[in-house]
Amino acid sequence: MVKHFNTTIAEDSARIFNFKGDNLSVEVMPNIQPTIEIKRYCDIVRQTNATNVTSQTIFTTPADKDFYLTSCALGVMKDALNASTVENLQGAVAGVGRVFLSIPSITLTAQTANITQTFDPPIKLDRASTIDLASTSAVATIRMTGCITGYTVETTKSTN
């Protein structure tokens, strides 16, 4: 269940969909069940930079709320002296480590690369888990940047 505090949502839906029944027959009215889809917004936006590191945490998901990843971005810049590496943006989904974005680097070649991904539907990550920027090695100079956006949802158990 998503908590929202928009006190006008019922009023707006009644006005937009004319739930008073002015234009609907008596037979149809009892069978109508209004459904409103609420567009979620991102309340988490995090970014980190790293130089020559094997792993750096961008964000730790809350232990008491569900976190949904809506998009992420990964950027890499390296000099020509570097060996082959792979730079990843990764996190945990259903108890399993997953790579959301990955950029392989070419041996002995200067390189710049950027990649972004939007998730529709968003990906639910494990509670109290980290989203990390990671590199397999850093022999010479590697600069990485990672960015994530997402939202949290308080879940409550229904009493019905």
Q: Does the pTM exceed 0.75?
A: no
Other Cβ atoms within 10 Å of 86 Cβ, number: 14
At 113 the pLDDT is 94
Please indicate whether residue 32 or residue 121 has the higher confidence score (pLDDT). Answer: 121
Please indicate whether residue 37 or residue 83 has the higher confidence score (pLDDT). Answer: 83
For 44-153, CATH gives 2.60.120.40
Percent share of the chain, pLDDT over 90: 46
Closest CA to 44 of 147, 155, 156: 147
Report residue 38's pLDDT band, with 50, 70 and 90 as the boundaries.
low
The answer to whether the CB of 93 falls within 8 A of the CB of 126 is yes
User: CA–CA separation, 124 vs 93, rounded Å?
Assistant: 7
Please indicate whether residue 31 or residue 3 has the higher confidence score (pLDDT). Answer: 31
Sheet holding 66-78, edge to edge: 44-51, 142-153, 66-78, 111-125
What is the maximum span of the chain, computed from C-alpha positions, in angstroms? 77
Please write the tens of the pLDDT for every residue from 53-77.
778 999 999 999 999 999 999 999 9
The pLDDT of 93-105, averaged and rounded, is: 95
How far is CA 155 from each of CA 1, 40, 128, rounded to the nearest angstrom? 6, 15, 15
